[in-house]
Amino acid sequence: MAGEGFSNGTPVYVKGSVVSGVTYLSGGFLIVPLSDGAQASDVSLGGSQPGVTRVNDTDGSISYSGFSYLANRGYGDYADDIHYATADGSTATLSFTGTGVQVFGEQFTDQGSIGVSIDGGPQQTIDTVPADGQRHANVALFTATGLSSGAHTIVVTKLSGDYATLDGFGTVN
């Protein structure tokens, strides 16, 4: 595939699922590995999964406790900014209307675990340390689908590690 502005931080989807193993070349070209039966027309690029409305981490609908703002990191963050926390127990909360939600952030060796709870339900623990030891910015760390249509609240809590990063949410209407 070829295009302008593709970089290591550009998420790539095949049939709506994030794909790994993408090779980013100079000049905006990239090589996308396709599984059996997938075609080039099944590939989409950009900030979030098709059908998802992206909510940047700076959006006023997100409330933070213990998170700080950082811009211009140059790692491929959505809108080149994130919110980050160093204290365990820090939270980010979003109320949204829809049938699904994604949590976007970073995977890196200085990250740890985050907890995610929807509508006051049990907290799910998500490991944000990548198996390959490389930094991965602007990735969907958590996805929930099949929620009842209507209003929901998601809370993301830093549980461990040096940092937790939040690059926003994606909502499915």
C-alpha to C-alpha distance for 8 and 58, rounded to whole angstroms? 22
pLDDT tens digits for range 14-63: 666 667 777 777 666 677 777 777 777 666 665 555 577 889 999 999 99
Residue 130 lies in a domain: yes
67/152 same-domain check: yes
Strands 136-144 and 150-158, sheet pairing: unpaired
Residue 104 lies in a domain: yes
Residue 6 lies in a domain: no
pTM attached to this predicted model: 0.74
Whole-number average pLDDT of the chain: 86
80/164 same-domain check: yes
Residue 2 lies in a domain: no
pLDDT tens digits for range 139-169: 889 989 899 999 999 999 999 999 999 999 9
112/136 same-domain check: yes
Which range marks the domain in which residue 149 is found?
52-172
Label residues 111-129 b or e (16+ Cβ within 10 Å = b). bbbbbbbbeeeeeeebebe
pLDDT tens digits for range 98-147: 999 999 999 999 999 999 999 999 999 999 998 888 898 888 899 898 99
C-alpha to C-alpha distance for 67 and 142, rounded to whole angstroms? 19
